[in-house]
Each structure stands twice: as structure tokens, then as C-alpha cells.
Structure 1
């Protein structure tokens, strides 16, 4: 069961895609996370520069996503985020996303499993939960609505 509403929303600003080409695992890409915001009832803050999204585009077109980044909460506490997920959809929809066009997120699947680590007592509750996020890819950003797994 998931929380009825998102516990917070991540809006991450992204750099251009760095393409490595086809490796033995698939088409490898890295997208630096340049900043962003976190807003919601249980967490507010900003995303610090220095994180990235490492992707492998599988032969079936699915993006296998592994992201690591840091949130600075509004109280100054730091929260490490580890997120792994999948994004896929019909080829014509994924081509639109690839061109940076806005696509209704209901037209493709974008989900991540999230874990957190912090020494901040005000946000220590994050150390003991798993979260699922429903994502939306925009031209230069990603939005994740984050739900607590109950």
C-alpha cells in the first residue's frame, strides 16, 4: 500500500544527455542533475548540483535508470537519495520524449524505487522508509511524485 498522496514532489533540473554509445550492456547515457526543488507536506528543500542519472537503454527501448543526488532540506539538513527505475512506452511516445517534447505522463511508464540516508534528526524518518515515485520527463527536467510505501 502507498500513501494516499505524495509525501513530496521532486523537480530536478537536468543537463544535456552525455551519450557513451552502445556498450556490452546497452546504450549508455549519463545526465547530470544540476539542481531543482523539493516541495511537499513532509519535505521541502532544494536539490544540490553533483548528482546524476545513469541510464542504460535496453534493446527493447526501456530506460533502466539509476540516479543518485542530494537534497538540502529547508532546515539545512542533507539527504542522500538513491533511486532506481524504469521508463518505457510506445515507440512514437518515446521518440517525442527524446526530442524534448512535452508528453502526458499517462502515455508512458516511468516509476522509480527510492531510498534515503540522512543524519538530520528532523528527517531521520526517511532512513526507515521505501518510496515509489511516478515520474514525468520534460525537456530539461524530471518531476517525481514520491509516495511512501506503507
Structure 2
């Protein structure tokens, strides 16, 4: 499934550690998932730097609210901040998220005005997110 009939602009393979709950007895309602690295492929090429965090809120109905923030380091050395927010339903392993990118490097400044949608899924030790650029309105 692709939004607006477009292929993914790039794909993130986010290496994650096991969730650490603020309330370890119930594994919720808030838990933190540390990002230990990963890869970026497609129109953006590079790596995901270790040190980012995915905050998850486990809701009473089983839905998980997701807010993540981490850094990409592209093949040319430019660093791009990635922020995302979404939710995963209780009965599914896939999720949609809104993604914002912030780049200081002039060659990537066009990403600052673009809007992105991510389609993610958990795969073994990582989370794979296909990122789509939304069309201009």
C-alpha cells in the first residue's frame, strides 16, 4: 500500500532495544525504546545514529501512541533530525506516522518544508519504515 500512488522516497531500518517501562510492573502506560542505530536507503542514503528515543504510550484499549526523535547521518556527512508521531492499533503490527525532517545543510534544506508519512512495521530486531513525501497542496 502506498499513499497517493507514490513509491517510498526512502526507507529507514531502525535498530531498537527492548522497551523499558517507567512502570516496570505493568510495562506501561509509558515506555521508552532506545534507538541503537540503523540504516537509511533510497533517495536518502546513510545511517541512523545511536542515541534516539521512541516514547510509547500504551493506552487502555491496547493502542500504542508513538513519538520518536533521532538523527540521520547521510553519506555526504550532513545530519538530519527526524521527528515522528503516530499510533499502532492493538491488533496490528503496522503503523502510520507523520514525519518531519530538519536539515541545516543547504543541499538538504528542501526537506525542511516537505511533509512525510511513514508506514512502519516491526521486523526481528528493527523497525522498518517506508517514508513517503506528501504532494504539495
- Relative distance call for 1:76 and 1:84 in structure 2 (3 A) is same
Report matched runs for 1:112-123 at 5 Å: 112-123=97-108
Deviation at residue 108 of structure 1 after TM alignment: 4.2
Q: Of residues 9, 27, 31 in structure 2, which corresponds to 1:7?
A: 9
Report matched runs for 1:12-91 at 5 Å: 12-21=14-23, 27-40=29-42, 42-90=43-91
Deviation at residue 138 of structure 1 after TM alignment: 2.1
Over residues 52-85 of structure 1, what are the superposed CA-to-partner deviations in whole Å (9 max), with x where a residue is unaligned?
1000011110110000000001100000000000
In the superposition, the TM-score normalised over structure 2's length comes to 0.89
Secondary structure of the 1:126 match is helix
In 1: Cα distance, 2:121 partner to 2:5 partner: 19
Deviation at residue 2 of structure 1 after TM alignment: 3.8
Match of 1:94 in 2: none
Please report the RMSD computed on the Cα atoms of aligned residues, expressed in angstroms.
Answer: 1.6
Over residues 77-125 of structure 1, what are the superposed CA-to-partner deviations in whole Å (9 max), with x where a residue is unaligned?
00000000011142xxxxxxxxxxxxxxxx5441110001011112111
In 2: Cα distance, 1:108 partner to 1:29 partner: 17
User: In the alignment, is residue 124 of structure 1 matched against residue 79 of structure 2?
Assistant: no
Contact persistence 1:12–1:36 (CA under 8 A): yes
Over residues 7-46 of structure 1, what are the superposed CA-to-partner deviations in whole Å (9 max), with x where a residue is unaligned?
0000000012101128xxx611100000000000x21110
- Relative distance call for 1:85 and 1:46 in structure 2 (3 A) is same
Listed as ranges, the gaps of 5+ residues in structure 1 are 91-106
Secondary structure of the 2:23 match is strand
In 2: Cα distance, 1:15 partner to 1:64 partner: 18
